[in-house]
Amino acid sequence: MPEDDPLILLLIPLVILVAATVQGTIGFGFAIVSLSILSYFLDFREASVIVALSVMASLVSAIWAYWGELKLTTLMICLGGTLLGLPFGLYVFNVVDEIWLIRGTGVLIFLLSAEGLWSMRVPLETQHDLRTSWHWTVIAGVVSGLLTGAVGMGGPPVAAYAARQSWSPREIKVFLLAFTFLSASLRAGGLAAEGWITFSVLAYALLAIPFALLGIFLGLRVSHNIDARLFRGLTMGALLLLSLGMIFRTSAHEPTIEQETATTVEHVDFLTDRH
């Protein structure tokens, strides 16, 4: 991590502020927005730890503001699924190339969000009994736990699930905020147990926390009076766009066409010089 680069000290708070504003506005997106930018400047795994730590404090005040509208039973069922998927996700985090994790996650999110937008053609009230099945709650939690452990982006599967319930925007938002807080806490514990929380990573996370708090506050103010159907459409639309960025993402370690061409030319020149 480039600890002496002042640009990084400026970039991290700015990115966290934007990501937290998105999270406060639509209830998800903190990890996707922040990691999609920070991973170009920091090691992906270190950036993932910073995001996991900085998001927790900012969510507490937001959850408190909507506590009376939280679907607590559904949240606990979903969290139970997360506990099943999280250990395997943490294992994947340690052994699999992150670019393939991001691309695979993007494909899954794209399918979920596209199906969610398609389902909005049906009046939401007719979907209530189907969408609240506890089986789907557990499945959303397991997939989220896997993605939370692997890439720190466990929000979208649960966001896709929550956006299809017959809940008010405030109920959806507090559910997503509370779930994000609890899953991030579990992941932080797992990362700490595996030695990923170093002094430098912790310092960056502490630097980011005030900006995360400010972003959550701004997002909540923006979204206070948003229409329920518009809210669901924005949620699914944002997921769709974010997933495309993840699918077509290139790794910082993956050579571009120009780099590959230059390498080929250098190799040919080397062989020519030898002969």
**CA dist., res. 34 & res. 47, Å (int):** 9
**CA dist., res. 93 & res. 101, Å (int):** 9
Choice between 81 and 166, residue whose per-residue pLDDT is larger: 81
Span 157-175, mean pLDDT? 84
Span 48-55, mean pLDDT? 86
- 42, 8 Cβ separation under 8 angstroms: yes
Report which listed range, 96-100, 104-108, 216-220, 237-241, is most confident: 216-220
Q: What is the pTM of this model?
A: 0.67
- 129, 76 Cβ separation under 8 angstroms: no
**Predicted pLDDT at 264:** 41
Q: Report the candidate in 155, 228, 235, 140 with the shortest Cα–Cα distance to residue 187.
A: 155
pLDDT in tens, 205-258: 999 999 998 998 888 887 776 665 676 677 778 778 877 877 886 554 444 434
How far is residue 267 CA from its own chain's centroid? 41
